[in-house]
């Protein structure tokens, strides 16, 4: 049995274009993933800036303004944007009690073009103490941009 050189060249060309298109698709995915991560970091940075100004409403702009928002802290589950805001106001009634917020150790995992989750650490620097903990937040992309739909902080 002989091998037709034209067939081999055709297979090689098809394989070459397949590999090139796969590489291009991967590069595009990597670019999209990097953009999503950047967008999420921007939301978290705006939240940190608002918190550090003592602006709880500004901080909450990063959350989905809906009854579907879920916030878990300790053994308490709070449902809804307004309820989460009221809980923050009760827990942090003044700028001094809010302290200076910072996030660290961020691990952003992009699940799809419209969903991602972030694992990280939070800390508050206040005059008399420095509470800290871990969090997992789930972001979804809406027409308004990336918003937190679920926040579990400890």
Contacts of 132 (CB under 8 A, 6+ apart): 121, 122, 123, 124
pTM: 0.81
**Distance from C-alpha of 140 to C-alpha of 119, rounded to nearest angstrom:** 15
Q: Is 65 exposed, middle or buried, given 0-12, 13-18 or 19+ CB atoms closer than 10 A? A: middle
Q: What is the pLDDT of residue 59?
A: 98
CATH 3.10.450.50 for the 5-153 domain, yes or no:
yes
Per-residue pLDDT of the chain (154 residues; tens, 9 = 90+): 554 555 555 555 454 444 444 444 444 589 999 999 999 999 999 999 999 999 999 999 999 999 999 999 999 999 999 999 999 999 999 999 999 999 999 999 999 999 999 999 999 999 999 999 999 999 999 999 999 999 999 9
**Distance from C-alpha of 142 to C-alpha of 89, rounded to nearest angstrom:** 26
């Amino acid at each position: 049995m002989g091998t037709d050189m034209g067939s081999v060249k055709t297979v090689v060309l098809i394989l070459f274009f397949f590999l090139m298109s796969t590489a291009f698709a991967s590069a595009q995915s990597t670019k999209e993933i990097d953009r999503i991560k950047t967008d999420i970091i921007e939301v978290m940075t705006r939240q940190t800036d608002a918190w550090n100004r003592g602006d709880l409403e500004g901080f909450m702009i990063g959350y989905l303004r809906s009854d579907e928002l879920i916030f878990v802290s300790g053994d308490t589950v709070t449902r809804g944007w307004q309820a989460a805001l009221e809980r923050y106001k009760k827990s942090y009634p003044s700028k001094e009690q809010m302290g200076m917020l910072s996030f660290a150790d961020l691990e952003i995992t992009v699940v799809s073009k419209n969903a991602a989750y972030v694992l990280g650490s939070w800390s508050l620097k206040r005059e008399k103490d420095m509470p800290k903990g871990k969090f997992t937040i789930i972001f979804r992309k809406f027409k308004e941009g990336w918003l937190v739909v679920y926040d579990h902080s400890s």
